[in-house]
Amino acid sequence: MKITVESLWSDIVNIRQQSPLVHNITNYVVMNTTANALLALGASPVMAHAVEEVADMVNIAGALVINIGTLSERWIQAMSRAAMQANQQGVPIILDPVGVGATAYRTTTASELLAAAQPAIIRGNASEISALAQTGAKTKGVDSLESSDAAVASAQQVAAAQQCVVCVSGATDYIVDGKETIRIKNGHSMMPKVTGLGCTASALCGAFAAVNPAPLMAAAHAMAVMGIAGELAAAQADGPGSFQMRFLDALYNLTETEIARRLNAA
Amino acid sequence: MKITVESLWSDIVNIRQQSPLVHNITNYVVMNTTANALLALGASPVMAHAVEEVADMVNIAGALVINIGTLSERWIQAMSRAAMQANQQGVPIILDPVGVGATAYRTTTASELLAAAQPAIIRGNASEISALAQTGAKTKGVDSLESSDAAVASAQQVAAAQQCVVCVSGATDYIVDGKETIRIKNGHSMMPKVTGLGCTASALCGAFAAVNPAPLMAAAHAMAVMGIAGELAAAQADGPGSFQMRFLDALYNLTETEIARRLNAA
Amino acid sequence: MKITVESLWSDIVNIRQQSPLVHNITNYVVMNTTANALLALGASPVMAHAVEEVADMVNIAGALVINIGTLSERWIQAMSRAAMQANQQGVPIILDPVGVGATAYRTTTASELLAAAQPAIIRGNASEISALAQTGAKTKGVDSLESSDAAVASAQQVAAAQQCVVCVSGATDYIVDGKETIRIKNGHSMMPKVTGLGCTASALCGAFAAVNPAPLMAAAHAMAVMGIAGELAAAQADGPGSFQMRFLDALYNLTETEIARRLNAA
């Protein structure tokens, strides 16, 4: 499969028209910013984490985004419950294994979630994806220390094992399904200086997965939009504070012309 | 009662001078942005949700804002405890029933909170207020699907049943007390593209209720300030990112002249 | 000891080069903004609060920041567990006793944390530091009511009793170790109008303590950076919304020249 201006623009139009409900069980750090990114793109975010209500919320959602950035026992139970319901209902799951490899708790939780339900897309940085592949990679808190090359091999391994799409984000984003690899070279070096843009990428994967039944294309479209909005934001930013603001403006104002000018995918 | 430039400005001056403590038990998504909006207006926000301390915090607060956007069991217990203490101490309660109708859990929680204590003001979107009136309205996550007209009827019904003021926010905001209706036509279409501006409206209701003993006026003033600051922000915004920033600046810089120029209430 | 342009700049260069991992167990309101401030300065923030993983995270961290702004039982257990591990591993602890004195719960928790482990730095506003010294000071929610003079005496008392550095932030910041006092007069009057800048100061203390073994200097450097970035932000801000954005940009772009021009320490 190949990502084109037309395939990407078509998904954006659908998100803006359908405004799919994206159910997020995510970390405290990024709840506000990922909700705003989903709104700016055209989707309808909801955050709900109580074991008592996650199944009901999944039932009306177009996608479920699970992000393990700030874990605790009750949240893990809710993630598991929501994930099983999503599989049962055919709602695509996006898993963001934040900081997996940094602590045993995160590594165990990621394994348990993968045992409980099958995600459509796993998105992480190079360290996280390598840790998922159990290559002994080290994660420094929530930031990446691994090379992208090693991570792509890990990603293909995880994709084959979990039968899902895996996205490794970095200077170049790699989106793989166990066989094919899509590379997105959009983005800007200031992006790692804003907290939670990786989490935002996962949230946008949810919006695209809600309108596009092919997870490989949904993930690639999400990463391309992240990168293009990042380039547009950087062009008007004086630092990470103004970048963050311009990024939301760019997502909101994205046009087919701008995408055609900037898309750098292979 | 009628909202005027003078009545609104008088409350703003009082908030800026007295800096009332507004105790928020609110959702994770909006804690930062509602705290900033309260500070920009001139109030003093505090967030505290432990069952062990909410009564102590209510005792020193000028208003209590309860928002059910991201629920869990312990939080519901704290909300209930705080609400009962507020009723006992004569501290006005603002209830924001986020997403009520979307899941049984939220609907049940809203009912339980209303059974435990009497709010001064309930503020929600059309779907939420209709759901509270048990008209069988549907809520899509946390966004509204209902018409404003149907919601006003529901609002009057809820206001009469709960003996409180009900505010339905939307393109036109309706503030009712079971008999009277105040309409605020200020605001801007970009506001639903920023997460948590409804929650911010509820928080500002808290600030106004802390200085104005008439809940109908307090809620109307809060909605007018939201709408006017929204118009000022939109005039300088390129999208929802810059809107959010300009909104806080506008709240902070609000003048009587600007209010006189823009207030659109009836 | 004396804070100089050279001593401060040297620490900033080290933070940018080493990118120390700063483990935060902090309140919900400021998680996003403190993470962004740490990234803008050059550090690597991580938030983790599960009892199950905090010790593992402390083991790979350069500093531990504990902030009691939004407490609950499980979080207190995790703070205690993390603090003990940090003492054992020689990881410096920064304690931010948000709102201590406002409720018995916060006061008790601060005492328990101080009994469980020894912080390198305690940072609070005048009311909080006075409350820690049990002078009967009153805290209004999370904002300060005390005079700075009274607070400096309290700070010296707390520093001597806890054998740590105490920082009282305000129009003038006082950093004391029981004997010496450093005064930082940088800053801007708009800073208290943005939520969580005190919490941000504590987080930056963590970054400086991770590269500088002298807590008195680390705290003074952090406060100077806060103040200077605040002045730079205010010069370009129209209100607290744009201030918040410009503050992150200023932290990110800080130069030795700008520090030399503005540093006001004694």
The encoded tokens of residue C10 equal 């040297």
pLDDT-based confidence at residue A59 (cuts at 50, 70, 90): very high
Residue of C nearest to B51 (CA): C72
Q: Is the dihedral of CA C11, C13, C18, C19 positive or negative?
A: positive
CA distances from C119 to A146, A228, C66, C95 (A): 33, 44, 9, 6
Q: Which residue has the tokens 């520093």?
A: C159
Q: What is the pLDDT of residues A181-238, one digit of tens each?
A: 999 999 999 999 999 999 999 999 999 999 999 999 999 999 999 999 999 999 999 9
Mean pLDDT, range A146-174, rounded to an integer: 91
The encoded tokens of residue A26 equal 């995510």
pLDDT-based confidence at residue A151 (cuts at 50, 70, 90): confident
The encoded tokens of residue B35 equal 């705290």
SS (H, E, C) B194-253: CCCHHHHHHHHHHHHHHHCCCHHHHHHHHHHHHHHHHHHHHCCCCCHHHHHHHHHHHHHH
Q: How far apart are CA C86 and CA B69, in angstroms?
A: 35
Nearest to C249 among A27, A141, A239 (CB): A239
Q: Which residues of C touch A69 (CB under 8 A)?
A: 47
- Range from A62-71, A83-92, A131-140, C160-169 carrying the lowest mean pLDDT: A131-140
| Burial group, residue A5, by CB count within 10 angstroms (0-12, 13-18, 19+) | middle
Contact between chains at B61 and C29 (C-beta distance less than 8 A): no
Task: Tell me: is residue A223 an annotated ligand-binding position.
Answer: no
Structural domain boundaries, residue C192: 5-262
Decide: helix, strand or coil at residue C71.
coil
Q: How far apart are CA B126 and CA C71, in angstroms?
A: 34
Phi, psi (deg, nearest 5) at residue B227:
-65, -40
Q: How far apart are CA B240 and CA C227, in angstroms?
A: 29
Q: What is the mean pLDDT of chain A?
A: 95
pLDDT-based confidence at residue B184 (cuts at 50, 70, 90): very high
Distance from CA of B35 to the nearest CA of A (A): 13
Nearest to B28 among A47, A248, A249 (CB): A47
**What residue spans of chain C are helical by DSSP H?**
5-18, 31-41, 54-59, 73-89, 104-116, 126-132, 148-162, 197-211, 215-234, 240-253, 256-262
Q: What is the pLDDT of residues B223-266, one digit of tens each?
A: 999 999 999 999 999 999 999 999 999 999 999 999 999 999 99
String of DSSP letters for C16-44: HHH--EEEEE--TTTHHHHHHHHHHHT-E
* pLDDT of res. B96: 98
Q: Which residues of C touch A106 (CB under 8 A)?
A: 53
Q: How many CB atoms lie within 10 A of CB C136?
A: 8
Mean pLDDT, range A172-188, rounded to an integer: 95
- C6-C11-C12-C18 Cα dihedral, nearest 10 degrees: 140
Contact between chains at B195 and A45 (C-beta distance less than 8 A): yes
Q: Which residues of C touch A194 (CB under 8 A)?
A: 36, 39
* pLDDT of res. C149: 75
Please indicate if any CB of chain C lies within 8 Å of the CB of A179: no
Distance from CA of A155 to the nearest CA of B (A): 31
Q: Which residues of B touch C145 (CB under 8 A)?
A: none
Distance from CA of B99 to the nearest CA of C (A): 21
Residue of A nearest to B193 (CA): A39
Contact between chains at C253 and A238 (C-beta distance less than 8 A): yes
Q: How many CB atoms lie within 10 A of CB C186?
A: 20
Task: Tell me: is residue A57 an annotated ligand-binding position.
Answer: no
C-beta separation of A184 from A191 below 8 A:
no
* pLDDT of res. A92: 98
Q: How far apart are CA C217 and CA C137, in angstroms?
A: 28
Distance from CA of C9 to the nearest CA of A (A): 19
* pLDDT of res. A22: 98
| Burial group, residue A187, by CB count within 10 angstroms (0-12, 13-18, 19+) | buried
* pLDDT of res. C140: 65
What's the predicted TM-score (pTM) here? 0.96
Distance from CA of B145 to the nearest CA of A (A): 12
Q: Which residues of C touch B72 (CB under 8 A)?
A: none
The encoded tokens of residue C45 equal 């923030």
Residues of chain C with pLDDT under 50: none
Q: Which residues of C touch A199 (CB under 8 A)?
A: none
Q: How far apart are CA A107 and CA A112, in angstroms?
A: 9
Q: Nearest Cα to A69, choosing from B57, C34, C49?
A: C49
Q: What is the CATH number of the domain that holds C160?
A: 3.40.1190.20
Contact between chains at B45 and C195 (C-beta distance less than 8 A): yes
Distance from CA of A244 to the nearest CA of B (A): 8
* pLDDT of res. A150: 81
**What ipTM score was computed for the predicted complex, to two decimals?**
0.95
String of DSSP letters for A31-58: HHHHHHHHHHHT-EEEE---TTTHHHHH
Task: Tell me: is residue C169 an annotated ligand-binding position.
Answer: yes
Phi, psi (deg, nearest 5) at residue A5:
-55, -40
pLDDT-based confidence at residue B136 (cuts at 50, 70, 90): low
Name residues 20-39 of chain C within 8 A of A (Cβ): 21, 23, 28, 31-32, 35-36, 39
Q: Which residues of A touch B102 (CB under 8 A)?
A: 46, 56-57, 60
Q: Which residues of C touch B16 (CB under 8 A)?
A: none
Q: Which residues of B touch C70 (CB under 8 A)?
A: 31, 47-49
Write out the E strands in A97-164: 121-125
Q: Nearest Cα to B159, choosing from B185, B124, B187?
A: B124
* pLDDT of res. B146: 63
Please indicate if any CB of chain A lies within 8 Å of the CB of C238: no
pLDDT-based confidence at residue A134 (cuts at 50, 70, 90): confident
More confident site: B158 or B144:
B158
Contact between chains at B99 and A48 (C-beta distance less than 8 A): yes
Task: Tell me: is residue C141 an annotated ligand-binding position.
Answer: no
Give the number of domains in chain A. Answer: 1
Asked if pLDDT for residue B141 goes beyond 90, the answer is: no
Which partners does chain A have (≥3 C-beta pairs < 8 Å)? B, C
CA distances from C151 to C121, C141, C156 (A): 16, 17, 9
Please indicate if any CB of chain C lies within 8 Å of the CB of B238: no
Q: How far apart are CA B41 and CA B228, in angstroms?
A: 13
* pLDDT of res. B206: 98
Nearest to B105 among A28, A50, A248 (CB): A50
Contact between chains at C50 and A104 (C-beta distance less than 8 A): no
Residue of C nearest to A138 (CA): C60
